[in-house]
Amino acid sequence: MKHHPLKLIKLNFTSELIYPRNIPAGSRVEGQSPTPEQFKITNYESLQLPTPDGETIHGYFVRPSNRSTARNITVLMFHGNAGNIGHRLPIARVLAEHIHLNVVMLEYRGYGLSTGTPDEKGLNVDAQTGLDWIRNNNETKNTSIVVYGQSLGGAVAIQLCARNQRAGDIAGLILENTFLSIRKMVPYAFPPAKYLAPLCHQIWPSEETMPQITEMPILFLSGIKDEIVPPAHMKHLYSICRSSTKVWSEFPKGDHNSSVAEPGYFDAIAEFIRKQIMGENEEM
């Protein structure tokens, strides 16, 4: 089957630029990615979740090691566009051990040990598969669900919450350094590719979808020195958010990948959980 040259450019642009799942090297090779044991995570399960369209999504279910301090909350965590969930295990460890939350972290189709090839439609199916697993798993089905997305994961989270908010079981949404849409982000993140942006059929229309989410509190975590996603994108998403409760937290020295390591990052999450999800006012 022959493809028109423009179609080939379009397919390659989408696959390699938007979803660089082979970066860093070894990200798709079993045994070459970080494991829970490397970060002293002992109370976890490895997940293999079948999707309705025939793929298998790999993930981890990480629990607090001290069950007596565990909160009745499960975080559904979506990663950025490179690497896999192994590279985000330190984040899961803090959420589980210091904020005492269950964490379900999935790697999208085509990433890590998941089957398939990534695209917008498929990633939305993967996200729904993860949410439905939490809803049906005996250990998590009666917990409050908080959806947490970083960068591309923020776009995935926005779409998932918009589709599911009326079910009433998503208690909150956390967004870090995410964008208005792929086409608006590309000219800033990849200037040489700015003329190819109209060819990109991966939309991720967060700017259009955000105003639809009105029934859950939302925390915005923004690195002001983000060199990939313009910080103005996060600010605009915050401004058009119609949720009755929205919280803004910025990190003056945080760039796209380092915001999570900035002082106060996890304090902001902990406070959001305590006040907006648990309804507590006293200090932790």
Taking CA atoms, 193 is separated from 18, 121, 257, in Å, by 11, 23, 21
Is 151 among the catalytic positions? yes
Concatenating the DSSP letter of every residue in the chain gives ----HHHHHHHHIIIIII--TT-STTTTSTTSS--GGGGT--SEEEEEEEPTTS-EEEEEEE--S-GGG--SEEEEEE--SSS-GGGGHHHHHHHHHTS--EEEEE--TTSTT--S---HHHHHHHHHHHHHHHHHSTTTTTSEEEEEEETHHHHHHHHHHHHHGGGS-EEEEEEES--S-HHHHHHHH-GGGGGGGGG------HHHHGGG--SS-EEEEEETT-SSS-HHHHHHHHHH---S-EEEEEETT--TTTGGGSTTHHHHHHHHIIIIIS---S--
Is 236 among the catalytic positions? no
Is 256 among the catalytic positions? yes
Indicate which residue of 144, 151, 243, 259 is catalytic: 151
Indicate which residue of 226, 243, 249, 259 is catalytic: 226
What is the rounded CA–CA span in Å between residue 161 and residue 57? 20
Taking CA atoms, 232 is separated from 63, 229, 265, in Å, by 35, 8, 19
Report the catalytic residues.
Answer: 151, 226, 256
